Amino acid sequence: MADLNRTIQQKAKDHFDYMVQTRRYLHKNPEISFKEHDTTDYILHELKKLGVETHRPLETGCVGIIEGKKSDRVIALRADIDALAMDEEGDQKKGFMSERVGAAHCCGHDAHTSNLLGTANILAEMQDEIDGKVLLIFQPAEESLPGGGRLLCETGFLQEQGVQEIYGMHTNPDYKPGEIASKPGPMMARPDEFEITLKGVGGHAATPHLTVDPIVLMGQVITQFQTLVSRSIDPTEPAVVTIGRVRAGTTYNVIPAFAEMIGTVRTFSEKNAYIIRDRMESILKGIMENAGGGYDFEFNEGYPAVNNDPELAAHLVTSAKALLGDTSTVEMEKPIMAGEDFAFYQKHFPGAFFFLGSGSDEADSKWSWHHPKYNIDEKCFLTGSALMASLVLGKR
């Protein structure tokens, strides 16, 4: 095992420059969810260079398959490939800043893709030592509902291939390069989204008594929503309601006819998500009907919560400790409230997810996910590509 890990680590070093170059190329050429056409072509090209069999169950994204020794084991490794619809900042990314307006890899999916291509290189070289079959999933559209993970699972492709276990990861600025973090059970939240239109009666700013002012009512709704978590959810269970955007009105002297608000709800169970949804509706009904207005309310169910299979999470931690040492393997005490569409795979197959430490001062990579300056310390590839390979090559 120690020998195997040394070999894997050496190979990760051998392919380090390749992963860095790949990441920088992808970073420069980001594509947003469901539009990852060039990215998919690039990945297919890289996999074919390695002689890896490729499939395209969806229009964008792809799956590579490496067959090892004959065995029943079928293991899947997943990376997401899409960028965010935003512009980036930060001179720490000099030379490989996004060249596409309105698209930027500010969530590290460029790194996830290059890391998995690095793992593909390691595994292709150690093919004879693989027990069974490995699927390398390059999934589109992690950032947009309904989520590429869900769509891929719905094609039935992974089921046909007989996937028995699946692993995925996300770069994380809260941990250092060289570290990984995970936990059994709930690890990331269920993110639902809501869209609300408050319907009033517009009019002149000087005659508010002849209107139903949706801006004033919005103030009440926002305040009431602050009681959703504090007064409707069991305090021992984490939940968040965040209103991310409010919009109303056009100018100084007009009371608008409607006001809009959108936001997200984070929970760890369907039960709590539905409690919040139903309470939102009754708050809206109460406030708006009482004022003589109306409302539209849409609650869009997002990804389920990421819930790690205990046995696979144990395999993950054991593999990480053997590869990186005890101090570099963080066993998380509590889950985090961000969501991940990796959860969809876990509805179909046992799976485990981990965070790959990528935050450092040298790389100016401690900015949070989705920050315009988001960056990764590329040294994380040495850990990430090796751990992915060792999950496949090491005995469970």
Residue 271 beta carbon to Ni ion: minimum distance, rounded to whole angstroms = 26
- Between 107 and 212, whose beta carbon lies closer to Ni ion? 107
| Residue 83 found at the interface with Ni ion (CB under 5 A) | no
Peptide bond into 191 cis (omega under 30): no
Report the C-alpha gap between 371 and 190 in whole angstroms: 21
Nearer to Ni ion, 122 or 188 (CB): 188
Whole-Å CA distances, 179 to 330, 354, 394: 7, 10, 19
Cβ closer to Ni ion: 107 or 218?
A: 107
**Which one, 107 or 288, has the nearer CB to Ni ion?**
107
Cβ closest to Ni ion, residue 11 vs residue 105: 105
Q: Which stretch binds Ni ion (CB under 5 A): 101-109, 118-126, 276-284, 287-295?
A: 101-109
Q: Give the count of residues interacting with Ni ion (CB under 5 A).
A: 1
Which one of the spans 24-32, 102-110, 121-129, 280-288 is the region binding Ni ion (CB under 5 A)? 102-110
Residue 60 DSSP class: S
For residues 299 and 303, which CB has a smaller minimum distance to Ni ion in the complex? 303
Binders in 299-338 for Ni ion, by CB under 5 A: none
- Helical H segments across 214-269, by residue range: 214-232
Rounded to a whole number of angstroms, the minimum distance from the CB of residue 151 to Ni ion is: 17
Supply the minimum distance, in Å, between the C-beta of residue 79 and Ni ion. Answer: 10
Q: Does 77 bind Ni ion (CB under 5 A)?
A: no
Query: 188 phi and psi, to 5 degrees?
Result: -140, 155
Nearest residue to Ni ion, using CB?
Answer: 107
Burial profile 256-269: b = 16 or more Cβ within 10 angstroms, e = fewer = bbbbbbbbbbbbbe
Task: Provide the residue type at 175 as one letter.
Answer: Y
- Point out which span in 100-108, 187-195, 206-214, 226-234 binds Ni ion (CB under 5 A): 100-108
Our CB check for Ni ion shows the closer of 107 and 389 to be 107
Provide, rounded to whole angstroms, the least separation between the CB of residue 159 and Ni ion. Answer: 25
CB of 318 to Ni ion, least distance (A): 26
CA 313 from chain centre, in angstroms, equals 18
Nearest to 298 by CA among 245, 248, 261: 261
Q: At what angle do helices 109-125 and 16-28 cross, to 10 degrees?
A: 150
Q: Which of residues 332-361 bind Ni ion (CB under 5 A)?
A: none
Dist CA 370 CA 349 (whole Å): 28
Supply the minimum distance, in Å, between the C-beta of residue 107 and Ni ion: 3
Shortest reach from residue 128's CB to Ni ion, in Å: 34
Q: 119 or 171: whose CB is closer to Ni ion?
A: 171
| Closest by Cα among 96, 115, 97, 21 to 355 | 115
DSSP string, 117-128: HHHHHHHHHTGG
- Rounded least distance, CB 365 to Ni ion, Å: 14
Nearer to Ni ion, 194 or 353 (CB): 353
Q: Which amino acid is at 347?
A: K
Q: Where are the beta strands (DSSP E) in 37-174?
A: 53-55, 62-67, 69-80, 131-139, 165-172
Stretch that binds Ni ion, among 103-111, 199-207, 273-281, 341-349 (CB under 5 A): 103-111
Query: What single DSSP character describes residue 299?
Result: E
Is the alpha carbon torsion for 192, 168, 142, 139 positive or negative?
negative
The pair of three-digit structure tokens given for residue 379, joined into one six-digit string = 């040294």
If the CB atoms of residues 107 and 320 are measured against Ni ion, the closer one turns out to be: 107
DSSP state of 104: B
- What is the smallest separation between the CB atom of 153 and Ni ion, expressed in angstroms? 18
107 scored as a contact of Ni ion (CB under 5 A): yes
- At residue 315, what is the residue type? H
Options 106-114, 260-268, 344-352, 382-390: segment touching Ni ion (CB under 5 A): 106-114
Taking the complex as a whole, the smallest distance from the CB of residue 279 to Ni ion amounts, in Å, to 29
Alpha carbons 194 and 191: distance in angstroms, whole number: 10
Q: Are 14 and 84 in contact (CB under 8 A)?
A: no
Residues at the contact surface with Ni ion, assessed by CB under 5 A? 107
